[in-house]
Amino acid sequence: MYRPLATSAMALILGAGPLLADVTPNEVWQNLRDGYEQMGYQVRVGSEEGSGDRLTLTDVVLTAEEETASDMTLTLPRIDLAATGDGAVRSVVEGQMVLQMRDTDPEGEEVGMTLTLDAPGNETLSSGTADEMQHSFVMPTLVLEGRALDDTNEVPVTATLTNVEGTQTTATAADGSATQTYQGSADMLEMQVSATGPAATMPEDEATGDAAPEGGADATAPADGDTDTAIDSFDATVRISDLTLEGEGTSPAGEITFGNQPAAALEAGASGAGRFAMGAIAGSFTSATTGLEGEDATASGEFTAASGALAVSMSAEGLTYEGSATDMATQMTSSGMPFPISYAAALNSFRLAMPVVASEEEQPFALRYALEGLTLDDAIWQALDPEAALPRDPASLTLDLDGQTILSQNFMDPTFADGTQTGPDGQPQMPFLPRSLSINDLSLDAVGASVQMSGDLTFGDDPSQPVGTITGLFSGIDTLLDSLAAMGVVPQDQLMAPRMMMAMFARPVEGNPDQLQTEIEFREGGSVFANGQQIQ
């Protein structure tokens, strides 16, 4: 059975939570082991020593089942569990943990990474009863060092979390189902990426027009002993302060879990939700590349944000994924640009909601995006509009859609994105079949002009022939065209064409000559009318 790496990692990490609670070290470990095996993982222990109040495990290895296409192995060199004498169990992971993930992409190439984790001073205290336990953990530092599986490029990543702490509470019902809540925090996350690899320069014989040597030439693979091969590099640093994480989850009773049968687990009642908040964010990067013809290029930049947030939830009702960042600013320079690029925005946010379990019934979906207070640096304006003909007020963009759709294939099905599902006629079938769409708000406000659109559409078996009406209000368009003509962007003698086009789709608002309105009507059979006149 195919299992994506992300799904496996989530199940492996979150699956430990409900099983860390019991009254003795042996019972804690046995419950932990049983839980991983129920999730579809094999557990091997090099040695197991102790009994009663103490238990020491060495060379603990968790792997995905052999028949899975993806492969993940988590190695913990040593786990010490000891009763504290007051009904709690203290667990410590000693040594460096290693997480290896391997998979095959659609082109048949092996992908993955190796990640080492060091958590000196880590400690988890589990207390309560077998049916309801609380686990409190602390890690003064957590250092992660990773390297992608790549025979050509070097992509090492290092991340350090400081003052990590949190709690997790689990409860097991009489039928075997479990619920959990968790919360955690870290003072700071610092991450560095330093990637290098051979540049994609053009082979000398190809650049000069000479015939390539027999067997061809690989521009990206240096010959043995060739020390003059051009190397591309990329270095980045990110700092995030005041991280917090909270969430909850539910696991159904039985052998079906999100790790081995995600769709069935969701239908049985599995659910999860997590919220991740960040304080100040700051980062920088530099890059150096060599082009196909040997030309060198460099770039550098910095970015900041006052705060950020991410949230995700999944259940049989659907998947939601949303995030936001506030008070963002970006500056970038490049040898290929005549001037630095600098821009800022007050808010950037998004939200996606969609069904994940296939059903013949209609299910809701939604998509929202907002960009508010976008401003450009004076250097950009000077290049685009040296005479200051255009207003430079902050720009904004809003997209707010929702509707109903039929999902004919489980979203967690590994063939969902392959396009291999076929209908009764043997033809490829889209897993999403829209039934209705509401454009609650589609608006753009920039350079003195604005657009606002809304409407409702319904769909039959042919999504290309909707039925419904979309209305729009346009402001400042005529003034913007005059400004563009004054700037020389649009020749004065060519203004007639866009104005005639607008007249076909829009009409002036009574009493306000600088505003236009339109009503686009989609009718049965595929005909389209603009302001009552048929255009298709």
Chunked in runs of 10, what are the mean pLDDT values of the chain (536 residues)?
A: 40 39 68 65 90 90 66 90 89 92 76 90 84 86 88 82 91 83 95 84 51 45 51 92 94 74 84 95 93 82 97 95 97 88 96 94 96 93 86 95 93 68 62 93 93 94 89 87 78 76 80 85 90 84
pLDDT given at position 379: 87
Contacts of 427 (CB under 8 A, 6+ apart): none
The answer to whether 124 touches 135, Cβ cutoff 8 Å, is: yes
DSSP class of residue 524 equals G
Q: Which residue has the tokens 């000479």?
A: 210
Which residues, 6 or more positions from 162, have their beta carbon under 8 angstroms from its beta carbon?
140, 141, 186, 187, 188
Report d(CA 405, CA 357) in Å as an integer. 12
Are the C-beta atoms of residues 236 and 285 closer than 8 Å to each other?
yes
Q: Which residue spans within 151-264 are E strands per DSSP?
A: 156-172, 178-198, 231-251
Residue written as tokens 């957590």? 142
Q: Contact 52/81 with Cβ under 8 angstroms?
A: no
Q: Which residue has the tokens 């059975």?
A: 1
Check residue 92 and give its pLDDT.
94
pLDDT at 228: 55
How far is Cα 356 from Cα 12, in angstroms, rounded to an integer? 21
Q: Do the Cβ atoms of 311 and 320 come closer than 8 Å? A: yes
Q: In the prediction, which pLDDT does 427 show? A: 61
Write b or e for each residue in 153-166: b if 16 or more Cβ atoms lie within 10 A of its Cβ, otherwise e.
eebebebbbbebeb
Structural tokens at position 160: 């350090």
Element (H, E) at 59: strand 54-64
**Beta strand pairing call for 54-64 and 528-530:** unpaired
What is the number of residues in the chain? 536
Q: What is the pLDDT of residue 353?
A: 97
SS3 per-residue string spanning 375-426: EECHHHHHHHCCCCCCCCCCEEEEEEEEEEEEECCCCCCCCHHHCCCECCCC
Residue 403: strand pairing partners: 365, 437
At residue 328, the 3 state secondary structure works out as: strand
